[in-house]
């Protein structure tokens, strides 16, 4: 008899006591609880991601959260800890540094959410503009669309940082409140942690260089903060064309990693690249009662 192993993917989770971080696309804590409770009633067990490759005795869910935002840390980790439900959080360590490295994608979520902001205007050639308009068609406001598209799929991380300029005091206050400090994560018995890069920069060039400049330093930061690395690396952003996530597998293995969380869907039970089910599709995928929010 073989059982299913499904990995769930969360980001921001908000509640009244600990509201979602600025500009994120949160799942309410009540919905998170609904999903876990209904899944448990349907016979799913919860497993620790570090034991993903070990045999299980029932269908098993693995809870993962990306980015380590303050809302996730305050809402989800204590709730799961109290119930003995294992979690895995992919942490970005740049924000912990004495001179913080703030992830561009997170800066954009904040900048686009602050009212009355004058946003940077990227210079795109007609081909790039057309590409951005196609990829981000759901963003109806042209300036939002172009800024987001330019930063996420056209410009390099460095170019995007130059375009945005250094964060001002208002943005900084949102950034500082956004990422939980390392001591928040210590002392949990059921929470595990993994690397999610130093800067949240997309993988775009030489695979070994990315592992050495973004992933290995992140692991060092985790360990320096007294957290044990799970060995699972969570990929941030889509790799920039023409590179692919498969190219990261050999250097990750070489550095002792056991898997990379990337992409959406059900895991096949053995691949190094481990896809997940997005928080917003959990009820449908697991055939649980719909969330009545």
Minimal distance, residue 241 CB to Zn ion, in Å: 19
> What whole-number distance in Å separates Cα of residue 198 and Cα of residue 215?
7
CB of 189 to Zn ion, least distance (A): 25
- Give the span between the Cα atoms of 261 and 289, in whole angstroms: 27
Q: Shortest approach of Zn ion to residue 55 CB, angstroms?
A: 30
C-beta of 75 vs 195, nearer to Zn ion: 195
Q: Which of residues 217-236 bind Zn ion (CB under 5 A)?
A: 236
Q: Give 67 or 262: the residue with its C-beta nearer to Zn ion.
A: 67
Q: Please, which residue, 15 or 197, has the CB nearer to Zn ion?
A: 197
- Least separation in angstroms between CB 67 and Zn ion: 4
Other Cβ atoms within 10 Å of 213 Cβ, number: 16
Residue 67 or 221: the one with the smaller Cβ distance to Zn ion is: 67
Binding flag, residue 26, Zn ion (CB under 5 A) = no
Alpha helix positions (H), the chain: 29-41, 70-83, 104-113, 126-135, 142-149, 157-164, 169-178, 207-210, 216-224, 249-254, 282-286
Residue pair 184/76 in contact by the 8 Å Cβ criterion: no
Q: Residue 61: phi, psi to the nearest 5?
A: -105, 145
* 236 versus 251: smaller Cβ distance to Zn ion: 236
Nearer to Zn ion, 44 or 102 (CB): 102
- CB-nearer residue toward Zn ion: 12 or 75: 12
What's the Cα-to-Cα distance from 222 to each of 195, 196, 215, 289, rounded to whole Å?
A: 8, 10, 11, 38
Give the CA angle between residues 137, 241, 134 to the nearest 5°.
15
Which CB sits closer to Zn ion, 182 or 236? 236
3-class SS of residue 276? strand
Residue pair 85/189 in contact (Cβ under 8 Å)? The answer is no
Give the Cα separation of 15 and 194 in Å (integer). 25
| Residue 275 C-beta-side C-alpha neighbours within 13 Å | 8
Residue 290 CB neighbours (<10 A): 9
Size of the site for Zn ion (CB under 5 A): 3
- Closest contact distance (angstroms) between CB of 16 and Zn ion is 25
Which 179-218 residues touch Zn ion, going by CB under 5 A? none
Per-position x/- string for 57-76, each x denoting binding to Zn ion as judged by CB under 5 A, each - no binding: ---------xx---------
Q: Least distance to Zn ion from the beta carbon of 114, Å?
A: 20
Query: From CA 175, how far away is CA 42, in angstroms rounded?
Result: 39
**Least Å from the CB of residue 21 to Zn ion:** 12
Contact between residue 80 and residue 87 where contact means Cβ atoms under 8 Å apart: yes
Measured from the CB of residue 200, what is the shortest distance to Zn ion in angstroms?
6
Q: What mask, x for binding Zn ion by CB under 5 A, covers residues 235 to 264?
A: -x----------------------------
Per CB under 5 A, residues contacting Zn ion are 66-67, 236
């Amino acid at each position: 008899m073989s059982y299913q192993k499904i990995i769930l993917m969360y980001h921001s989770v908000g509640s009244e006591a600990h509201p979602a971080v600025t500009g994120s696309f949160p799942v309410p804590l009540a919905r998170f609880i609904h999903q876990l409770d209904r899944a448990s009633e349907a016979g799913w067990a919860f497993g620790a991601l570090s034991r993903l490759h070990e045999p299980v005795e029932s269908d098993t869910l693995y809870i993962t959260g990306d980015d380590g935002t303050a809302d996730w840390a305050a809402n989800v980790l204590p709730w799961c800890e109290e119930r003995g439900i294992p979690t895995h959080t992919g942490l970005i360590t740049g924000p912990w540094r004495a001179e913080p490295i703030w992830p561009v994608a997170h800066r954009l979520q904040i900048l686009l959410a602050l009212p009355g902001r004058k946003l940077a205007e990227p210079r795109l050639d007609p081909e790039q503009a057309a590409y951005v308009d196609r990829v981000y068609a759901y963003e109806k406001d042209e300036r939002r669309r172009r800024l987001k598209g330019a930063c996420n799929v056209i410009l390099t991380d460095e170019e995007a940082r130059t375009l945005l300029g250094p964060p001002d005091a208002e943005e900084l206050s949102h950034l500082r409140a956004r990422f939980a400090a390392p001591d928040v994560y210590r002392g949990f018995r059921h929470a595990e942690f993994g690397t999610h890069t130093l800067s949240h920069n997309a993988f775009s060039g030489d695979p070994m260089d990315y592992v050495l400049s973004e992933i290995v330093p992140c692991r060092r930061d985790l360990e320096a903060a007294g957290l044990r690395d799970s060995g699972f690396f969570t990929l941030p952003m889509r790799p920039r064309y023409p590179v692919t996530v498969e190219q990261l597998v050999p250097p990750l293995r070489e550095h002792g990693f056991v898997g990379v969380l990337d992409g959406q869907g059900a895991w096949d039970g053995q691949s190094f690249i481990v896809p997940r089910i997005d928080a917003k599709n959990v009820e449908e995928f697991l055939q649980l009662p719909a969330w009545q929010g």
